[in-house]
Amino acid sequence: MTVPGVAWSYALLYVPALVPFGVAAVAAAAYAAVVPRSHPFGRTLTAAAVAVGGRLAKPAVALVAALILAAAFRTGDAAPAAILGGTGGRLLGRGWVAVAAAVGSVGTFFCGSTALSNLTLAPVQAAAAAAAGVPLTHVLALQAVGAAAGNSISLAILINAKAVVGGLRPDVLAVPEGVLLRRSAGPWAAFVALSSAAGCALFLTSAWP
């Protein structure tokens, strides 16, 4: 996608699911094309394709919208990501190291996905690192750690986990999401605090250049 002053591309081969699952799906579709629908496997494959297609229709719309929003958020010198990161980096200076992991967790809290948090907030972290004079790779490492920790406070992930565990323990389904969030907030805070402390310690002891 190219707009005057803005260039954006999406490297499909870097998506892990494309090669194993995409190739398998294409192979299955090709095989289904030559197998008569009257054949038992043909009927099974057709039913599976219809069911999966129905399930993916709405999530696909949301995913495409999320990718467009992420691209708009982080593309260009005047993008919100550059403004937010640059402002935060200038205000906090090298103290940005102390909050980088927490910022990554906030991204996962809202996005419900570590990948989307990294996709959306990595440009913010990059702009902050440049403004604060902090090594980019180290800030991005804290972003990744914080994004992973954010899974424990993401409502979307908590609801999914509740549904899965509820299949084995129905009593879990009666627990409100707010209670689950409060119980997981403590471990999340401890993990982010330890990660931030480790990052600051490495930075202050010159283990980071």
pLDDT tens by residue, 100-135: 999 999 888 888 888 888 888 888 899 899 998 888
CA–CA dist 112, 115 (Å, integer): 9
Q: Give the model's pLDDT for residue 203.
A: 77
Between these two residues, 203 and 206, which has the higher pLDDT value?
203
- Whole-prediction pTM: 0.66
Res. 4 pLDDT band, cuts 50 70 90: low
CA–CA dist 37, 73 (Å, integer): 46
Quick count: other Cβ atoms within 10 Å of Cβ 10? 9
* pLDDT exceeds 60 at position 168: yes
Most confident of 77-81, 136-140, 168-172: 136-140
Q: Are 82 and 76 in contact (CB under 8 A)?
A: yes
CA distances from 44 to 3, 21, 32, 37, 50 (A): 45, 18, 10, 9, 10
Mean pLDDT, the chain, rounded, equals 80
CA 74, 79, 83, 89: dihedral to nearest 10 degrees?
Answer: 30
Q: Are 119 and 71 in contact (CB under 8 A)?
A: no
Res. 1 pLDDT band, cuts 50 70 90: very low
Q: Is the dihedral of CA 96, 98, 104, 110 positive or negative?
A: negative
Residues in the chain: 209
35-87 pLDDT per residue, tens: 766 667 667 777 777 787 777 777 777 777 777 776 766 666 677 778 888 88
19-38 pLDDT per residue, tens: 677 777 778 777 777 776 66
CA–CA dist 155, 185 (Å, integer): 11
Q: Are 100 and 146 in contact (CB under 8 A)?
A: yes
Q: Give the model's pLDDT for residue 39.
A: 67
CA–CA dist 43, 146 (Å, integer): 46
